[in-house]
Structure 1
Amino acid sequence: MLRFFRQIRQKLITENRFSKYLLYGIGEILLVVIGILIALQINNWNNEIQDREKEKYYLKSVRTSIELSQNELDRVIRDAKLISSSADTLFLLLAREKYGLLNGIFLDSLLFRAADYSQISLNDGGIQEILNTGSLGIITNDTIRVILASWNERMHVIRKFEAETKELNQKYVAYLNNYINASRFLLDSVSVVIPEKKKTLLTDPLLRNYLERITGLHYDMHDMYSEEKRMLDSLSGLIKQHLRE
């Protein structure tokens, strides 16, 4: 084919037909340009196909991560609610001076449930793979892309609150250690609170301050965990719909 074009070009030059040769040259350039454009378009098609396959792979991986995290989300939501409600119940009983109700295991359960703290451990491998490989741009659904892009920031806020709950827990437990004797666990229906120190503990304003902070902080954590669960449930639904399209 190339030899054929060269023969035509040589013939035009020999016959001194410059205008036709010029037109031929322009045509030859156009053919080259068209060939390049076609090659680029084919390459773009191939890249698009590869991107769509990658997108499908990543989004399926994200859905798997979400499914594996459901039980963990339910756990921390449940824990945060239990901690908050325990601290709040004890706070209200103390505020109303219902000291006669605070005996034995009931007192212990409120004191020590309030001393717990929540910390989530999500399976986010699918999400991190997208973020760490810089593949967020191949996600064509804007809403999905925005939710994924904000993942690390949302986790940073949650981790900040979790660190605060842990620090508060450590201070609260250290405070309680001044009033309890763990060996009293061996006695049935007897509180671990040292009898001689019980009144001092229950009337101490510092205990109420701790309980108020624990209640508020874990109430916020409950809302945060619940919102994250709603967000991930929504993301899973969006991915499922997107993969069907």
Structure 2
Amino acid sequence: MIKFFKKIRQRLISENKFSKYLLYAIGEIILVVIGILIALSINNWNDKSKENLKEKLVLLEISNSLLANLDWFQDVSYKRLERKTEGISRLTKMIGENEKTVSFDSIIKLFNKSQTDISIIYDSGPYESLKTYGFEIISNDTLRKLIINSYEVTFPSMRVFGDKTQKILDPLIEEIKIKIFKKEAVQNEKGVWQLINTPKDNKILTNPDFKNLLDLENQKYNNYINRLNYVKRRMTNLNKQIVEELDYLNEK
């Protein structure tokens, strides 16, 4: 094609037809410009397509991570809290009804349940990947701000708040445990020896310190369940926003 235009140009010049050559030259320039513009458009489209794909992948990774966290809460955290509140409530009921024939084994098992704790954990890996790509890869301004706020403020603050609460309650709990319990080595069903807390006397249910201990454990339970429910709501809402954005991007 280029050789063809060169031949025409040479022919026009040789025939001294300057005006026609000028028109030809202008046409040739226009064609070159059009070709450049088309090439740039294709290149920009390819770049945009790559960015859109990267955005979808990042959002999908965050969504999958949130779903995994929510599954963990349901399968592990909430079940551990059920165990904790069962121990607290049953022991509190025994105290209220002044039961005198309860075996030490029953008290120990329920007390161990009341000691169950949890940690508010979450996977920040996909968010760290987003930071390396650059936040601007998320085209939706509202969603971008929500993601940043969730991983930089909401989720970490729930862990910090929980840690502060435990630092206040745990020393008080340990102080009471030392007064009314002793460590004893026992062999579990699997034959493994372990240290457990056993009451120092058989009047544990009438000991006011024991009631105070259960009250403190109940405070911990309320702290756990409130934080867990809050984080669960925020994660569920964030995942909903991400899924809606993915649906929108896929339909574009």
What TM-score, normalized to structure 2? Answer: 0.65
CA deviations on 1:160-187 (whole Å, 9 max, x unpaired) are 133235425642552213311232867x
* Correspondence list, 1:12-161, <5 A: 37-74=37-74, 75-83=76-84, 86-87=87-88, 89=89, 93=93, 98=96, 100-101=98-99, 103=102, 104-134=104-134, 136-141=135-140, 144-153=143-152, 154-161=154-161
Specify the alignment match of 2:210 in structure 1. Answer: 202
CA deviations on 1:14-47 (whole Å, 9 max, x unpaired) are 9999xx97x9998888777655544433332121
Alpha carbons of structure 1 residues 116 and 10: separation in structure 2 relative to 1, 3 Å:
farther
SS of the residue 2:167 aligns to: helix
Alpha carbons of structure 1 residues 29 and 81: separation in structure 2 relative to 1, 3 Å:
farther
Alpha carbons of structure 1 residues 71 and 208: separation in structure 2 relative to 1, 3 Å:
closer
Q: Unpaired segments of 5 or more residues in structure 2?
A: 188-196
Please tell me whether residue 230 in structure 1 is matched to residue 236 in structure 2. Answer: yes
CA distance in structure 2 between the aligned counterparts of 1:240 and 1:168, rounded to whole angstroms: 43
Give the strand-richer structure, 1 or 2: 2
Specify the alignment match of 2:164 in structure 1. Answer: 164
Please tell me whether residue 218 in structure 1 is matched to residue 224 in structure 2. Answer: yes
Alpha carbons of structure 1 residues 90 and 34: separation in structure 2 relative to 1, 3 Å:
same
The answer to whether the 8 Å contact 2:70/2:232 transfers is: no
Alpha carbons of structure 1 residues 167 and 16: separation in structure 2 relative to 1, 3 Å:
same
SS of the residue 1:227 aligns to: helix
Alpha carbons of structure 1 residues 146 and 133: separation in structure 2 relative to 1, 3 Å:
same
SS of the residue 1:195 aligns to: coil
The sequence identity of aligned pairs, in percent, is 20
CA distance in structure 2 between the aligned counterparts of 1:35 and 1:63, rounded to whole angstroms: 42
CA deviations on 1:107-158 (whole Å, 9 max, x unpaired) are 4345433433211443443333123321x32334556434432331322122
Alpha carbons of structure 1 residues 86 and 222: separation in structure 2 relative to 1, 3 Å:
farther
The answer to whether the 8 Å contact 1:56/1:243 transfers is: yes
Using the TM superposition, name which of 212-221 and 1-10 deviates more.
1-10
Specify the alignment match of 2:174 in structure 1. Answer: 174
Superposition RMSD in Å: 4.4
CA distance in structure 1 between the aligned counterparts of 2:185 and 2:174, rounded to whole angstroms: 18
The answer to whether the 8 Å contact 2:92/2:211 transfers is: no
CA distance in structure 1 between the aligned counterparts of 2:235 and 2:32, rounded to whole angstroms: 56
CA distance in structure 2 between the aligned counterparts of 1:185 and 1:7, rounded to whole angstroms: 104
Alpha carbons of structure 1 residues 208 and 166: separation in structure 2 relative to 1, 3 Å:
closer
Give the letter for the 1:139 counterpart.
I
CA distance in structure 2 between the aligned counterparts of 1:124 and 1:5, rounded to whole angstroms: 65
CA distance in structure 1 between the aligned counterparts of 2:38 and 2:172, rounded to whole angstroms: 71
The answer to whether the 8 Å contact 1:84/1:218 transfers is: no
The answer to whether the 8 Å contact 1:86/1:114 transfers is: yes
The answer to whether the 8 Å contact 1:73/1:229 transfers is: no
CA distance in structure 2 between the aligned counterparts of 1:82 and 1:126, rounded to whole angstroms: 32
CA distance in structure 2 between the aligned counterparts of 1:203 and 1:59, rounded to whole angstroms: 49
Q: Unpaired segments of 5 or more residues in structure 1?
A: none
What TM-score, normalized to structure 1? Answer: 0.66
Q: CA deviation at 1:79?
A: 2.7
CA distance in structure 1 between the aligned counterparts of 2:217 and 2:45, rounded to whole angstroms: 62
